[in-house]
Chain A
Amino acid sequence: MSNAPHILVVDDEPQILRAIRTILTEKQFRVTTASRGEEALTLAATNEPDLIILDLGLPDMDGVEVCTRLREWTQIPIIILSVRDSERDKVAALDMGADDYLTKPFGIEELLARVRVALRHSVNRKGEPSKMVSAGPLTIDLAWHIVKRGEEEIKLTGIEYKLLAYLAANHGRVLTHQSILSHVWGPEDADHTEYLRVYMRQLRKKLEEDPERPQYILTEPGIGYRFIADE
């Protein structure tokens, strides 16, 4: 057995499976494929992969349901693969515990970046999470609650800091509106996206060099936000 991460790819399109398998194998991953939901659930239980790439449109069951059933017993990172215009489904899968999503058609660089982020977070989940996150000139000390640009400290309000800390601790991953709102404001405010919009704007003004064209806090349209840290 090699130590290369093992990835389970679930998609009902043979061409997509072929392409992803070729590329991931090339990148030294071990790859197993499944084309149906039930098959995926069985393979996930028997092979214990390190990561699952899951298409939402499966012939026998909804990808969101596969995600829910996986989350009943495992925290394996799941990356959702779906066609455009299914924001609702993507959000549902993310809120059901999926780690990230990719929209078809996707670039391979994007896929590999998502895979790396998801694998890293899964390692972090097992061990100690990182205490320092840096992005360009920004450093965020999650232990001491200090945010700096270069040497200069940036003053944040309580909510702004909570917001940034949550994003930074999950850097590279997409966080849905609902998960951010319930984490920062509490579950009772999970529908108030306008809070998020307003505070995110303030936060960007304090952090981004050009708040009109943010580089660190990215908006995922219709889904949520993603913090981009240095690799």
Chain B
Amino acid sequence: MWNSSFVSRFGYLLAFLLIAVITALFSLLRGALDTTLVALLYLIPLGLITARWGLGPGIMSALLTFLAFNYFFIEPHYTFTVHRPADIVILVVFLIVAVVISQLVAQAQAGLAAARAREREATQLYELSTALAGLPNDRDIAQILAKQVHAVAEGEYVELNITGIRALNIRIPDGHPPTRGPELIVPIEAARGILGEIRLWRAEPAISPSEKRLYQTFASQGALALERAWLVQAESRARVLEESDQLKSAILSSVSHELRTPLSTIKAAASSLRGKEVSWDSPARAELVAAIDDEADHLNLLVGNLLDMSRIESGALKPRREWNILPEIVGSVLGRMKHLTVEHKLKIDIPESLPLIPVDYVQMEQVFTNLVSNSLKYAPANTTVSISAQMEEDTIYVQVSNQGPQVPPEHLERIFDKFYRVTAADRVTGTGLGLSICKGIIEAHGGRIWAENLTDGLAFNFTLPLTWDGAKPPQLPMEPENE
């Protein structure tokens, strides 16, 4: 492609050279060629020059050819004098024809160029709107818009500022804008006002009015896309709020039920102990005291679970990972639960060869506590609760299973939902949060948890990654076994 500044600088020179060469050629053939034929032949390079380098060089060439024709081909040769009237006519006609041809060709060229420019603009606009279509994210939209302006303008630097709902600043290329002011500032305007602006730096060539119009169209396309994205966001935010509102009222109603049950027991037991109904040494007294103690523990568990749940919901549950030993976690959980496990058999199958696992000790204890207590709650007495673990490449796979009732397949996923119970709530004590807390913790560790029906019961399975930010479990140098 011919750069326009190059053409303006060299077009005249090249036109001059071409005319000179052709004149030299024609002078060599002067004996053989008729004067009128020479005049006609001269029109060919004239047309070409105008088509190639524009009107300026074309007109210049027309005058130049007129002079050369007069000087070299009209007798007397090598003078600008004309003797024959017919030659004068030829010269005048030649000049008129040459200039008219140059102008016509130049006009046709300009028309063609304008058509091309319009086509290019249409293509660029089409590309922009295709790229923007369906982009849900305002940052992506701004990025695409800035990129397109930069590419189309072949600009030095583009800065895009959005001051609408969310402030954005996109710079292409990265880094600070040039120290001088931008050559063009286009506001990004939408129905509700100005959303921001596009600032374009391009010193050479100067920005033409048609280009400016193009960027204004770009900006309004961008504004439309931004408004659309913000509307979609607002809509989904509203939906989330609505859902969380429903959830909160569900939690509130469930919690008030769950909190009142132990409170009623405590209140009843404490007030009867205070009154004179129960004698000091009756067995009923010990039972009432035990009920107060148990129900207080239950309340404490419930409050703890609610706190954990709200932490999981708000994304504040960040595991404090350390390299831990799985059997120690399981052991300490079972040790703490030993008064609850007396009616069941426990089977633990965790291979010694298991590597250290990168988990939050306290949170993993909670996962096991919840899974085991869930198993104990539903499985009949004298059945076995099993805990097993195995390694599968970079993952550890843990199963806590019981010989309790199976769960209908359609409920298997939903048992991890908050306050979800397969059986009626009043038949089983609990918080209805245990399994969803497990899910929250396991997922925060990058693992997965699911329930599965076994031939003789129910299993909770979960996986945990064995790597921690890509690091494998450490191998510790061990001491030799001697004194």
* A195 close to B479 (CB less than 8 A): no
Least distance between A141 CB and chain B CB atoms (Å): 15
A144 to B332, CA, bound (A): 31
Cβ–Cβ contact A212 & B327, under 8 A: yes
Any B CB within 8 A of the CB of A127: no
1/0 per residue, CB under 8 A from B, across A64-100: the answer is: 0000000000000000000011010000000000000
Asked if A151 is at the interface (CB within 8 A of a chain B CB), the reply is: no
Given A194-B323, A197-B356, A200-B328, verify A218-B335 contact (CB < 8 Å).
Answer: yes
In this assembly, does B300 line the interface, its C-beta being within 8 Å of a C-beta of chain A? Answer: yes
In contact, B356 and A194 (Cβ under 8 angstroms)? yes
Binds B, one of A25-33, A41-49, A118-126, A152-160: A152-160
User: Does the CB pair A158–B365 fall under 8 Å?
Assistant: no
Q: Is B24 an interface residue (CB 8 A)?
A: no
Query: Are A211 and B362 closer than 8 Å at their CB atoms?
Result: no
Across the interface, do A197 and B304 meet the contact criterion of CB distance under 8 Å?
Answer: no
Contact, CB under 8 Å: B322 / A193: yes
Residue of A nearest to B324 (CB): A197
Please, which residues of chain A bring their CB within 8 A of the CB of B334?
A: 212-213
Q: Chain A residues near B331: list those with CB within 8 A.
A: 204, 211-214, 219
Contact of B328 among A107, A157, A197, A222 (CB under 8 A): A197
Given A193-B322, A212-B334, A221 and B361 contact (CB-CB distance below 8 Å): yes
A219 CA to B328 CA, complexed, in Å: 8
CA of A213 to CA of B338, assembled, Å: 9
Whole-angstrom CA separation of A172 from B466 in the bound complex: 34
Q: Does A1 lie at the interface of the complex (its beta carbon under 8 Å from any beta carbon of B)?
A: no
A87-B362 in contact given A194-B322, A200-B328 (Cβ < 8 Å): yes
CA distance A222 to B322 in the complex (A): 10
Minimum CB–CB distance from B342 to chain A (whole Å) comes to 13
User: A157 to B482, Cβ gap below 8 A?
Assistant: yes
- Residue B112 lies at the interface, judged by CB distance under 8 Å to chain A: no
Structural contact, A221 and B362, CB atoms closer than 8 A:
yes
B225 at the A interface (CB under 8 A): no
A164 to chain B, nearest CB (A): 14
Say if the beta carbon of A201 comes within 8 Å of chain B. Answer: yes
Choose one: A159, A193, A222; the contact of B323 (CB below 8 Å). A193
> Which partner residue on chain B sits nearest A85 by CB separation?
B307
Residue on B nearest A106 in the bound complex, by CB: B300
The A/B interface has a contact count, at CB < 8 Å, of: 71
Cβ-based interface call for B348 (8 A) = yes
Closest to A88 in B: B320
- Contact in complex: A197, B323 (CB < 8 Å): yes
Docked Cα-Cα span, A105 to B479, in Å, equals: 42
Judged by a CB distance under 8 angstroms, whether B483 is at the interface is yes
Judging by beta carbons under 8 Å apart, are B296 and A218 in contact? no
Query: A134-169 CB contact bits vs B (8 Å, 1 = yes)?
Result: 000000000000000000000101111000000000
- Measured in the bound complex, the distance between the Cα atoms of B307 and A214 in whole Å is 29
Known A200-B328, A201-B327; contact A213-B304, beta-carbon cutoff 8 A: no
CB distance from B35 to the nearest CB of A (A): 103
Most interface-central of A198, A204, A213 (chain B CB within 10 A): A213
Residue of B nearest to A156 (CB): B483
Q: Say yes or no: A218-B479 contact (C-beta < 8 A), given A193-B322, A194-B356, A201-B327.
A: no
Q: Which of A3-59 contact B (CB under 8 A)?
A: none
> Given A219-B328, A219-B332, A198–B348 Cβ distance below 8 Å?
no
Whether B470 sits at the interface, judged by CB under 8 Å, is: no
Interface residues as binary, B440-483 with A (CB distance below 8 Å gives 1, 0 otherwise): 00000000000000000000000000000000001010111111
Per-residue contact bits, chain B 271-297, to A (CB 8 Å; 1 contact, 0 not): 000000000000000000000010010
Q: Which residues from chain A contact B361 at a C-beta distance below 8 Å? A: 221-222
Q: Separation in Å of the B322 CB from the closest CB of chain A?
A: 5
B325 close to chain A: CB less than 8 A: yes
- Residues in A with CB closer than 8 Å to B328 are 197, 200-201, 204, 219
Task: Please report which residues of chain B, range 342-383, place their CB below 8 angstroms from some CB of chain A when the two chains form the complex.
Answer: 348, 356, 361-362, 365
Write the nearest CB–CB distance from B332 to chain A, whole angstroms. 4
Asked if B153 lies at the interface with its beta carbon under 8 angstroms from chain A, I say no
How far is A51 from B304 in the complex, measured between Cα atoms in Å? 30
Are B332 and A218 touching (Cβ within 8 A)? yes
Q: Provide the residues of chain A in CB contact with B362, threshold 8 Å.
A: 87, 221-222
Residues on B with C-beta less than 8 A from A198 are 325, 356, 476, 478
The residue of chain A having its C-beta at the shortest distance from the C-beta of B297 within the complex is A105
Asked if B300 and A105 sit within 8 Å, CB to CB, the answer is yes
Residues of B contacting A197 in the complex (Cβ-Cβ under 8 angstroms):
323-325, 328, 356
Interface residues of B in 307-331 (CB under 8 A from A): 307, 320, 322-325, 327-328, 330-331
Contact present for B479 and A159 (CB under 8 Å)? yes
Distance from B436 Cβ to chain A, minimum over Cβ atoms (Å): 18
For B476, list chain A residues within 8 Å (CB): 194-195, 198
Question: How does the 8 Å CB contact mask read for B88-109 relative to A, with 1 for contact and 0 for none?
Answer: 0000000000000000000000
Taken together as a complex, chains A and B put the C-alpha atoms of A217 and B288 apart, in Å, by 34
Given A218-B335, A221-B361, A221-B365, A212-B474 contact (CB < 8 Å):
no
CB pair B325 A201 closer than 8 Å:
yes
A178–chain B nearest beta-carbon distance, Å: 12
| Distance between Cα atoms of A226 and B478 in the complex (Å) | 23
Cα of A87 to Cα of B363 in the assembled complex, Å: 12
- Chain A residue with minimal CB distance to B479? A157
Q: Nearest chain A CB to B369's CB is how many angstroms away?
A: 10
Chain B residue nearest to A197 in the complex (CB): B325
Kindly list chain B residues whose C-beta atoms are within 8 Å of the C-beta of A212.
327, 330-331, 334, 348
Shortest B396–chain A CB gap in Å is 15
Q: Are A158 and B479 in contact (CB under 8 A)?
A: yes
Besides the known contacts A87-B362, A193-B322, 20 further A-B residue pairs in the complex with CB atoms under 8 A apart: A84-B300, A85-B304, A105-B296, A155-B483, A157-B480, A193-B323, A193-B324, A194-B324, A194-B356, A197-B325, A212-B334, A213-B331, A213-B335, A213-B338, A214-B331, A214-B332, A214-B335, A215-B335, A221-B361, A221-B365
* Pairs across A and B, CB under 8 Å, 5 listed: A84-B300, A87-B362, A107-B293, A157-B481, A197-B323
Could you list which residues of chain A lie within 8 angstroms of chain B, going by C-beta atoms? 84-85, 87, 105, 107, 155, 157-160, 193-195, 197-198, 200-201, 204, 211-215, 218-219, 221-222
Q: Which 6 A-B pairs have the closest CB atoms?
A: A194-B323, A219-B332, A222-B362, A157-B479, A212-B331, A221-B362
